[in-house]
A and B are shown apart, each in its own frame.
Chain A
Amino acid sequence: MTLSLDTSWATSSEIAQAVGTGQTTATAVVDRALNVIAARNSTLNAFTTVTADRARAKARAVDAATDKTKLPLAGVPFAVKNLFDIEGVTTVAGSKINRAHAPAEQDQPLIARREEAGAVLVGALNMGEYAYDFTGENIHDGPSRNPHDITRMTGGSSGGSGGAVAGGMVPLALGSDTNGSIRVPSSLCGIFGLKPTYGRLTRARSFPFVASLDHLGPFARSVPDLAVAYDVMQGPDPEDPVCDQRETDFVTPQLKLGLEGLRIAVAGGYFRQGAFPEAVEALGRVAKALGATKDVDIPEAARARAAAYVITCTEGAALHLERLRKQAGDFDPAVRDRLLAAAMVPSTLVVQAQKFRRWYRAQMLELFKSVDVILAPATPCTAPKLGQQTFVLDGVELPVRANMGLYTQPISFIGLPVVAVPVPLTPLPIAVQVIAAPWREDVALRVAFALEQMGVCAAPRPAL
């Protein structure tokens, strides 16, 4: 059986169709993916575990299925950030400490839902320690490397997810986003990423970071892939108390509705400060293509980011308090020192941040009465060099690690759905955030699809 499709760069839709119609087999696709991973991982360092035996067994099961055309992800390889539970694999969450944990007894439910749709898990992906990271660097596993320039960061904390998808190792991946950890790697690696509404996708059996801010979500190289991968993962889960009860709101059939009737504006003020020329250029191209001429002011965005910062570090410190007491020397020092400091922050200040959060949510919901979509930069710049400690924003030298999420934090702070759309600038891509009202992933994905159709946004193929 032959297939002209290069499955390492094919979309998941192309692979599923080829497998479904018998042009190729899931086994052939998965073998090809495992070979590509073996060839590229020594350079990109995206994978920390490859589940080859499991993947081959699953591929055989897909090939044996009676009606593969009913499987929307038939034979599509995917991988997950290593904070997702994988049966038989220890969930390390980018840490040294968790390596002592017993292997997980069950798959995280989003893995199971994807595999029910015919997809095949091929492994676990590198990430910043305990997801407290925007760089994609990891002191224990080494940095994930950007496929567009291996001397540069992937962005974090889902760095391996960004590198694996951008580097043609898998067409789909899963990551988590607490303050920007899906959107930042999407931007730096030049791929599409969806951070759904807070509470949309179950987080059961994933290693947490900040319970009130954690989201899980997909990465892909095209919008239809992102949409179908998202559709098969939706739905309630009693094991995650935050996961909403609403049933699946299929977005794939809605992609072609286009921009008709959508009111699109550009975030001004805070979101125009600090951006490098490439971020301004990318935002300008997207806004122009969408005819978005109106600016909106997101009220108190700087304070929203500050509150997100405070809640993040203190909830994170609460999560890790015992590990800080007993195993402080086993943390990445950069993570440890932030958590130790956060453990000392008075609770009075944290409660005030949570009060501000509700006020800010009300302001944003009011804003969404007059617009459907808000555009904002995803990152202030393209991928920095690995090891780069600081950059200069508006003339002020600031740490890279803490400030790559400058524009993402005020958005995830109140759980808004966002699609990061990559603009293929040369030499490096950079993304724009397409932000919608709560539970309106369909709107953000429609806009992303329109931008892809217009050729303004695309996941550029790196020279590997």
Chain B
Amino acid sequence: MPKPPLDDYMDTAAQALGLPLEPAWKPSVKANLKVTLHLAELVAAYELPDDSEPAPVFKA
């Protein structure tokens, strides 16, 4: 049976970023990632105009 997509994503991301991801840590990391992605999508679903500025604005 294929692994759910988040497991593959976590393995690939950890490898790409050079992060350790021990098997025993995976369930908890996955649970946290699910919560964070859910909350991030909730924010992203709020439509804002293209020209809206992010909060931190750099001043030269």
Contact = CB atoms under 8 A, between A and B. Distances in A.
A77 to B, nearest CB: 38
Interface string B44-56: 1010100011111
A354 interface: yes
B32 A306 contact: no
A280 to B, nearest CB: 26
Interface of A is mostly: helix
Contacts of B43: 303, 306-307, 310, 349, 352-353, 356
Nearest to B40: A349
A344 B40 contact: no
A333 B29 CA distance: 10
Contacts of B30: 341
Given A333-B25, A352-B43, A355-B52, A345 B20 contact: no
Contacts of A414: 55
Contacts of A354: 54-56
A349 B18 CA distance: 21
A325 B19 contact: yes
Interface of B is mostly: helix
Contacts of B21: 340
Interface residues of B, number: 31
B54 A337 contact: no
Nearest to A353: B43
A356 B19 contact: no
Interface in B22-60: 25, 28-30, 32-33, 35-37, 39-44, 46, 48, 52-56
Contact of A337 (B14, B25, B42): B25
B54 A345 contact: no
A333 B48 CA distance: 37
B1 interface: no
A343 interface: yes
Contact of B37 (A328, A336, A345, A402): A345
Interface stretch (A25-33, A36-44, A357-365): A357-365
A216 to B, nearest CB: 19
A212 interface: yes
B54 A358 contact: yes
A333 B28 contact: yes
A306 B42 contact: yes
A341 B53 contact: no
A118 to B, nearest CB: 38
A23 to B, nearest CB: 50
Given A307-B39, A355-B54, 7 more contacts: A306-B40, A313-B36, A325-B17, A337-B32, A349-B43, A355-B55, A359-B46
30 contacts: A212-B56, A302-B42, A303-B42, A303-B43, A306-B40, A306-B43, A307-B39, A310-B36, A310-B39, A310-B43, A313-B36, A324-B20, A325-B17, A334-B28, A337-B29, A340-B21, A340-B25, A342-B32, A343-B19, A344-B17, A345-B33, A349-B44, A354-B54, A355-B54, A356-B43, A358-B53, A358-B55, A359-B46, A359-B48, A402-B35
Enumerate the 8 nearest inter-chain pairs by beta-carbon distance, A residue then B residue, closest first: A354-B54, A341-B32, A357-B55, A349-B40, A306-B39, A341-B33, A344-B13, A337-B28
